[in-house]
Structure 1
Amino acid sequence: MSMQGRIGRAGGTRVKRALGVQAALEWAFRVEKAQLELPPPKDVVEEGFGFGLEYVLMQRAALGCKVDGGQHKMGSDTHADAEVIAATVAGMPDTIGGKRMAIRAVELARAGLTPDWMPGAVPRCVPVDIKRNRHGDRAVSVVVGTERALIKGKWRSVEVRACPVTFRPDARQIEAARQAYEDWWQALCWVREGLIAGGMLREIELTGSLPKLRPWGDR
């Protein structure tokens, strides 16, 4: 049974299902299969946090849904609250990533995933290239110069070789992964605030639950 089917009434009063914003997105896009319909260019729709209610209302009208959540899009089984969530995500402003972040948030929600912030990653010194054969792995070396050496009583030119190394993952990769996680976290906050301010959810109640802001800093 879907989460939609478990939302019911008690004594004639609608009982809302309490969900954190990440769980609400996963319910909307993974369970209810809501679709992300991105808004027109920002010169058509005013950008900023204030867009939210107006854009959601337009989306709901286009979907054939009443604002009170009483009807669904004709021919669709998607819950009305899931459509509201999808419309809110679609209007994410450029200040927190815009359309690209909206798409990323939906991809993660559909997969039930959190962005990979590279837990436990530390830069390690490793060879730039490895040659593999039946005897095992061997670091590839390169010629970095020549030297004169006395070999068996004769002076000869010999190659000086060294193994190039690098750090993997490097500090920039780790920093970029963790910045991407923080950007996603900020987007979740924006979606949560927008949904609460809009007041259009009828069977879902958003809680204050959020993923950890910087899980790599926890002890």
Structure 2
Amino acid sequence: MTVQQALEWAFRTECAQLELPEPPDPERGQGFGFGLEYVLMQRAALGCQIDGGRYKMGDYTHEDAEVIAATVAGMPDDLGGKRTAIRVAELARAGLTPDWMPGAVPRCVPVDMKRNRYGDRAVTEVVGTERVLSRGKWRTVEVRACPVTYSPHPEQIEAARRAYGEWWKALEWIQQGLQVGEMLREIVVAEEMPRATPWVPTPEQDSR
């Protein structure tokens, strides 16, 4: 399995639970998260499946799925720690890849629209007045403009792709941990990974 497939199998098919570290102790200066090495060492020392005190009403969760969940729970702080672990598990449970907004291009659009019997029209606002000569008389007329914005906003696209990048780095860390840890008994995690920057055209796409 690829690491993404392994995560989806563990959380979506096997319904593994994410057992997160205890809250930090300010007096001891402990932070969220702990190393994967610690997770694997503790499981190896126990020599048995960890259930975290929960009861599954007779349902069995594959031991490899428990190892995968424990690995995710050990997400280091420099990759987002607890927050990233929860995000990875939620996406895997839903069978989803983060939305990096494929094909999104900022477009200049009116801030607001209104509809009348003639169709949709952009909402305008008064930005000033001008004196004009009309039919021999000076008249004061409103100068109106249409407020515009960019949709989707470039910052929105950038944020979505930054979040995808964080997810990808987390998957890379999980993949390496599962391969090096050698705690999986039946599942083999392949080298294949999702594309790191799918919004960047490949050489094959550029040549089309």
TM-score range relative to shorter protein: 0.7 to 0.9
1:27 alignment partner, one of 9, 27, 43: 9
How far is the alpha carbon of 1:149 from its aligned partner? 1.3
Q: Secondary structure at the match of 2:18?
A: coil
| Residues 121, 217 of structure 1: alpha-carbon distance in 2 compared, 3 angstrom cutoff | same
2:115 alignment partner, one of 128, 132, 148: 132
Unaligned runs of 5+ in 1: 1-18, 67-72
TM-score by length of 1: 0.80
2:53 is matched with none
Q: Contact 1:85/1:195 (CA < 8 Å) preserved in 2?
A: yes
1:103 is matched with 86
RMSD: 2.5
Q: Does 1:203 align with 2:175?
A: no
1:215 alignment partner, one of 185, 198, 203: 198
How far is the alpha carbon of 1:54 from its aligned partner? 2.0
Amino acid at match of 1:191: I
1:158 alignment partner, one of 141, 144, 168: 141
Superposition pairs of residues 136-151 of structure 1, within 5 angstroms: 136-151=119-134
1:54 and 1:145 map into 2 onto residues whose CA distance is 67
Q: Contact 1:21/1:191 (CA < 8 Å) preserved in 2?
A: yes
Deviations 1:46-68 (A, max 9, x none): 7777x2132245468899518xx
How far is the alpha carbon of 1:74 from its aligned partner? 8.7
1:8 is matched with none
Q: Does 1:77 align with 2:60?
A: yes
TM-score by length of 2: 0.84
How far is the alpha carbon of 1:36 from its aligned partner? 0.9
Q: Contact 1:64/1:74 (CA < 8 Å) preserved in 2?
A: no
| Residues 150, 87 of structure 1: alpha-carbon distance in 2 compared, 3 angstrom cutoff | same
1:15 is matched with none
How far is the alpha carbon of 1:139 from its aligned partner? 0.3
Q: Contact 1:60/1:84 (CA < 8 Å) preserved in 2?
A: no
How many aligned positions are there?
Answer: 194
1:176 is matched with 159
